[in-house]
Structure 1
Amino acid sequence: MLVEFQPEGKFYSYLDSDDQGNQTINFQGFKEFLSDYFEADLPSELIQQLSLSFSKGPPTGKSLVECIRREQIGNIFNSNYK
């Protein structure tokens, strides 16, 4: 299947690059890929939901510890002003 994403493959024309130089597949290519992979036409609502689930941006780069600390600090400040 990966060979189909190479320059001679059928999905190559659907590839784009994002701002960071990562290759992404556009929505039409994603639909074609799913159809080919599952050998069936999937409902458009399912394809849209799958596409959205994969298109969420990468994590913000904050570690879990940073997120927890920020939340705890916010809770401390909020409890002092109640």
Structure 2
Amino acid sequence: MERDRFIKFITHETLKWRVNCDIIIKYERECPMKSTKNRFSNGSMVTIKETGETVTILKWQYVKNMKRYSYIVKEHPGTFYFEEELEVN
């Protein structure tokens, strides 16, 4: 019963911005992992389709307003690539 009230509290729309993993850890002692649908993960070796260059994924993020993933590669940290521009080695 108390847990249900807590869950309703942290998911309430007006308080959603205040909720983060720390609150959940304090209550449940673990932080659930979010599942992702991106094709490449950090450290993956991929090829840039346009140049044929093999590169390593440094980091990735989901671009919400474009509804797709962008990647920054170790060899070109000032440039980002979308999933469509990369392919698996």
* TM-score relative to the length of structure 2: 0.24
Task: Name the structure where strand makes up a greater proportion of residues.
Answer: 2
- Higher relative contact order (Cα pairs below 8 Å, separated by 6+ residues): 2
Task: Name the structure where helix makes up a greater proportion of residues.
Answer: 1
